Structure 1
């Protein structure tokens, strides 16, 4: 269903973009021809109606942001398929399922459904939020227990834990990586997301305003000296409105904003996964150290050896401003 709805809303974006631009440009052409035409009243009335219709259509389209709706459903489709694969893999392993496993799966289903709703009204996500936050499609974790002291031994010059593949060096790598993700990767996507959001908000206001001004100017076409200025205002306003609409929806600014917010959510989830393991006082109850490090490295597009460079970032002496390297290489 998410895949079907996503395709539908992508079609909405293309259809509404071309339809609105056609209305606006046709009205501008009518406004330009009206003063010299014998049927001036009919042309200027048609131009005014078309420009007013274009202004209303632009305002409605800017409110729902079809390209952003399509990106929401594309990401939801990917995440639902990922969840399905994980459930099928769990069943294939033939491991006895507990009530806790079922509850965890249900929590993920409900969180994902809340993050990417299907209906437009009610339930549509806010398209112009006051604060830009990473998208969250996973359930909240339980509060971490207070950490207890642990002792790490040495084996072959490397600090190792009592078991499960964790060592002091690996913990330092994860802490350094966690700091870099917070200071660089997530912050970068949120900063760019704010810029895109502000640009999109400006375009969303400018398009209908220009089309509405052009519709108002078309009323005064052919009324003496002011008619010349009115004709120019109607033609230029309509052309500019079509240009703004093309930049906003042809450039899919809403989709770009949603993409940046989803990428920030990707890094936020990695942070929470790392924190959940580091805050677990019992090493044996953590996810296997080597397996976890491999998963994190793959998600970031790095090798295991690349993670060692983040060990020094765990030191408090390193300031956030001095961190130059990004954790992820995929985005």
Structure 2
């Protein structure tokens, strides 16, 4: 009996004990007291990064072991190949010249667009004024005599005189030619900007590079002036000469590492390449440049005839409108109407057809060939091949400027050499224009 009671108590205890334990368990509250943490550096993270950025990549300052960041700097130095040096004064000067050149590009671009707009507005305005005056003369001749005839006569005379003055101003400044000058200047300044960028990418510029860049900027400023008064180029010159936008070329030493690594042998030059370049320079002078000068002279003469005819016709029309109704003859009406119509035609042909722009284009093209010829002669005349431009690179540059491949350029030079008379050689050196 006692044994059964003991077993029942044990079984009941084993049955109820898990619940009693679960209920009776009391999780103690954990109180966070002082926790030992790593000691932060005195400097903030921003200050530390600024310090590392300041001393690691840009300077070669030596640090001592007392420096708190000596270990970090030393580790960084061991993982990097080297540190960059500060920019030299020549690099700073070239960057300054590049900024000036970029500003010149924007100036010539904006002023060129403005002067092109001048040409369009002036052509339209002068034609409208001239045709309106011609219509007034016709109305005055067809109407019976009265006060309105006097008004039409005076109005047409004023309009013809205004048109004559505007045509004289347009013929003097040639807005289409001005716009072409600014377009050429912007293109050449962009070319100079690219040359300076390439020179800086090669590294280690010299003082000669700085002086040469400044001379080119000043030469471009003189060749394509911005103001109209005082320094404007003559738009109707007596003789046609090539445009010159480069400084006087002179013999100068070139680094052997320039544009293509260390030079070997004769700097890419040999007897064959010298003969080829000599023949190409001769053809450029006798064929290409002479042809564009001839075309420029023809366009200039045509432009001079138009420049005289326009104001002359409008002036005669103004004279005819003045005598309208004063004489019994019909010649004032004929002169007033026909003169105004012809004046508008001449003005449209001269300025609407942009004859001045065509002349400037021919003049600039002849200048381009003159520059190539001078470059070829300068390199050939230099006895020391290491003071020349690299022969292979110079040949590539000449071929691309003439719109030819290297094989075409060599075949062209061979054809010139095989011909008996260079003057009778029909092909031009340039295939570009």
Alignment TM-score, normalising by the size of structure 1 = 0.91
Determine which of 158, 165, 168 is the counterpart of 1:49: 158
Q: Provide the secondary structure at the position in 2 that maps to 1:225.
A: coil
After TM superposition, the structure 1 = structure 2 runs for residues 53-92 of structure 1, keeping only pairs within 5 Å, are: 53-92=162-201
After TM superposition, the structure 1 = structure 2 runs for residues 169-184 of structure 1, keeping only pairs within 5 Å, are: 169-184=272-287
Determine which of 133, 138, 145 is the counterpart of 2:246: 138
Residue 289 of structure 1 corresponds to 391
Determine which of 193, 199, 206 is the counterpart of 2:302: 199
User: Following the alignment from structure 1 to structure 2, what is the Cα–Cα distance between the partners of residues 70 and 131?
Assistant: 21
User: Following the alignment from structure 1 to structure 2, what is the Cα–Cα distance between the partners of residues 285 and 72?
Assistant: 34
Matched, 1:99 2:201: no
Residue 314 of structure 2 corresponds to 211
Q: 1:224 to 1:126 in 2, by over 3 A?
A: closer
After TM superposition, the structure 1 = structure 2 runs for residues 1-20 of structure 1, keeping only pairs within 5 Å, are: 1-20=107-126
The answer (yes or no) to whether the contact 1:9–1:66 under 8 Å persists in 2 is: yes
User: Following the alignment from structure 1 to structure 2, what is the Cα–Cα distance between the partners of residues 17 and 271?
Assistant: 39
Displacement of 1:53 in angstroms is 0.8
Displacement of 1:143 in angstroms is 6.6
Q: 1:47 to 1:291 in 2, by over 3 A?
A: same
Residue 260 of structure 1 corresponds to 362
Note the residue ranges of structure 1 that are not aligned, 5 or more in a row: 145-160
Q: 1:330 to 1:275 in 2, by over 3 A?
A: same
Residue 289 of structure 2 corresponds to 186
Displacement of 1:312 in angstroms is 5.2
After TM superposition, the structure 1 = structure 2 runs for residues 233-312 of structure 1, keeping only pairs within 5 Å, are: 233-308=335-410, 309-311=412-414
Q: 1:112 to 1:302 in 2, by over 3 A?
A: same
Determine which of 139, 150, 160 is the counterpart of 1:33: 139
The answer (yes or no) to whether the contact 1:72–1:258 under 8 Å persists in 2 is: yes
Displacement of 1:322 in angstroms is 1.2
User: Following the alignment from structure 2 to structure 1, what is the Cα–Cα distance between the partners of residues 265 and 193?
Assistant: 35
The answer (yes or no) to whether the contact 2:131–2:344 under 8 Å persists in 1 is: yes
Q: Provide the secondary structure at the position in 2 that maps to 1:127.
A: coil
User: Following the alignment from structure 1 to structure 2, what is the Cα–Cα distance between the partners of residues 90 and 162?
Assistant: 24
User: Following the alignment from structure 1 to structure 2, what is the Cα–Cα distance between the partners of residues 224 and 23?
Assistant: 25
User: Following the alignment from structure 1 to structure 2, what is the Cα–Cα distance between the partners of residues 283 and 271?
Assistant: 18
Residue 147 of structure 1 corresponds to none
Residue 221 of structure 1 corresponds to 324
User: Following the alignment from structure 2 to structure 1, what is the Cα–Cα distance between the partners of residues 397 and 340?
Assistant: 53
User: Following the alignment from structure 1 to structure 2, what is the Cα–Cα distance between the partners of residues 271 and 281?
Assistant: 18
Displacement of 1:142 in angstroms is 2.3
Q: 1:40 to 1:202 in 2, by over 3 A?
A: same
Displacement of 1:162 in angstroms is 4.2
Residue 268 of structure 2 corresponds to 165
Determine which of 218, 223, 226 is the counterpart of 1:110: 218
The answer (yes or no) to whether the contact 1:177–1:311 under 8 Å persists in 2 is: no
The answer (yes or no) to whether the contact 1:190–1:261 under 8 Å persists in 2 is: yes
Q: Deviations over 1:234-256 (max 9, x none)?
A: 10000000000000001000100
Note the residue ranges of structure 2 that are not aligned, 5 or more in a row: 1-106, 253-263
User: Following the alignment from structure 2 to structure 1, what is the Cα–Cα distance between the partners of residues 175 and 268?
Assistant: 47
The answer (yes or no) to whether the contact 1:134–1:190 under 8 Å persists in 2 is: yes
Q: Deviations over 1:130-177 (max 9, x none)?
A: 111110111001279xxxxxxxxxxxxxxxx94211111111110110
Residue 151 of structure 1 corresponds to none
Q: Which has the higher contact order (CA 8 A, sep 6+)?
A: 1
Determine which of 104, 122, 129 is the counterpart of 2:237: 129
User: Following the alignment from structure 1 to structure 2, what is the Cα–Cα distance between the partners of residues 318 and 166?
Assistant: 26
Matched, 1:23 2:126: no
